[in-house]
Amino acid sequence: DIVLTQSPALAVSLGQRATISCRASQSVSTSSYNLMHWYQQKPGQQPKLLIYDASNLASSIPARFSGSGSGTDFTLTINPVQADDIATYYCQQSRELPLTFGSGTKLEIK
């Protein structure tokens, strides 16, 4: 199985940049796609797709969210962080079955 490793928490001041990382135990990229995706989950809600294929912004997601990376190392950036961004962020790979999620990074306000 592909293991995705995320830091448990990140504290950032409002208006600053947040950088959330996800490292895969093996490559999740093909010759054409980087099969890593990012979700935001607020307490009591379902996850919401933010970024697909590593760097593509999902529909209706603000441009302050962006994603980058390839191979085994991926990053979700929020710039600038707003109060509404307080949530847990998960990465997820679809390179192979079983599909796997990272353990989540909880974004907190400093």
Partner 1 sequence: QIQLVQSGPELKKPGESVKISCKASGYTFTDYAMHWVKQAPGKGLKWMGWINTYTGKPTYADDFKGRFVFSLEASASTANLQISNLKNEDTATYFCARYNLYFDYWGQGVMVTVSS
Binding site for partner 1 (CB under 8 A): 33, 35, 37, 39, 41, 45-49, 52-53, 58, 90, 92, 94, 97-104
Give the type of residue at 42: K
Pairing of strands 105-109, 9-12: parallel
CB of 87 to partner 1, least distance (A): 13
Shortest reach from residue 60's CB to partner 1, in Å = 11
Looking at beta carbons only, is 15 or 59 nearer to partner 1?
Answer: 59
Helix, strand, coil shares, percent, the chain, to 5 = 5, 50, 50
